[in-house]
Amino acid sequence: MVIFDHGFRLFFLFAGIWASVAILVWSAALLGLEPLGPGGDLLFWHSHEMLFGFAAAAMSGFLLTALPNWTGRKRIQGWSLAAFAALWLAGRAAMLTAPMIGASLAAVLDLGFLSLMAVYVAAEVWRSKNWRNLPVAALITLFAASNWLAHWTALGGAEPPIDGRRLAIFTLAILVAFIGGRIVPAFTRNWLVQSGAKVSIPNFGRFDAAAVGLLVLSFAAALAAPDSALPGWLALITAAVHFVRLMRWQGWLSLAEPLVWTLHLGYLWLVAGVAALGAAWLDWGISETTAMHALTTGAFGTMIIAVMTRASLGHSGRPLRAGPGELIIYFLVLAAGLARLVAPFWADQTQLLIIVAAIAWAGGFGLFSVLYFRLLTRPA
């Protein structure tokens, strides 16, 4: 079966479907249906499934496809890929039925997938001696560990010094900065070359490494010294540095191709999210929850849909050009991010805007699942 040939086929489809289903289930619960998740904690279920369900599937689809190219090792396919898929599905089923099967069993079933992904990525990097990707292995391990922390807290364990879901968001943001710092300029450069433009786009260098390091430092300060002003000022400086980094990639030259400029838009959301966190930590009129949604709904959502569309087209041999369907997908995901960001500032319409954001999100990723189903499940 073609869908078991490459990781991107199966897990991008999972990501698209689950992004839509999970947000609609959460919206229904928000409107008064029976709460979901361990202990009936609706907020836990929502944040967990967006991070460790949806984002984990998209991240895994990308890594299972890209890692063999980076390391020169054989890719996961066939029954091995099916085993990864089974673990991911078991986690989603467990989280949906947690009130019936119990939070402890749900946690056990859910933790297997990311734990195996962390072992797989670390082993592939180690066996290939591809030390350039050691930070990726470390970040995936940290992301898996954050899921353990999240479940530990949900099960009533002693309060850990670091909140698991907060750590997961920080980890994904660093992944976007690290991997995005490779693929955004590379894809931009490739498109400009094909277009005949003679423009120099810098490769990942010392400035980029310093920018990622500064982001790590900002998040570390937020975890270690949450009551001081240091994390806020560091985050604002970090946002400025990453904005300069984004400008170095000259995304305005790619406005003719949405497959490229959407990647730049996703990175701009990362800049905005980090700046919003800085403002929140300095108590400048924005909550950390709102700033976090600038990262999750804005940066992660936009970057994930941009990567999934481009990678799906490229790895299946289709032309790298966005059509009307892709434009609608991008518009809906962007609208979801904007609606969720402004919702808290419209006190009388907050819940309505949150529902609008959820519907736009479900529409964007649902449309991706429909339009790309044939491409992902059948030969070119």
The domain limits of the chain are: 1-160, 163-380
To the nearest whole percent, how much of the chain has pLDDT over 90?
82
Can you give the pLDDT at residue 50? Answer: 97
Would you say residue 276 has pLDDT above 90?
yes
pLDDT at 36: 60
Q: What was the pLDDT predicted at 40?
A: 56
The whole-angstrom separation of Cα 250 and Cα 73 is: 33
How confident is the model at residue 252, as a pLDDT? 94
What confidence score (pLDDT) does residue 34 get? 63
For residue 38, pLDDT over 50 is answered with: no
Structure tokens at 239: 């946002």
pLDDT at 297 over 60: yes
Q: Which residue has the tokens 């499940």?
A: 377
Question: pLDDT of 137-176, one tens digit each?
Answer: 999 999 999 999 999 998 887 777 789 999 999 999 999 9
Lowest mean pLDDT among 43-47, 183-187, 244-248: 43-47
Tens digits of residue pLDDT in 192-204: 998 888 888 998 9
What is the chain's mean pLDDT, rounded? Answer: 93
Write the pLDDT tens digit of every residue in 131-143: 999 999 999 999 9
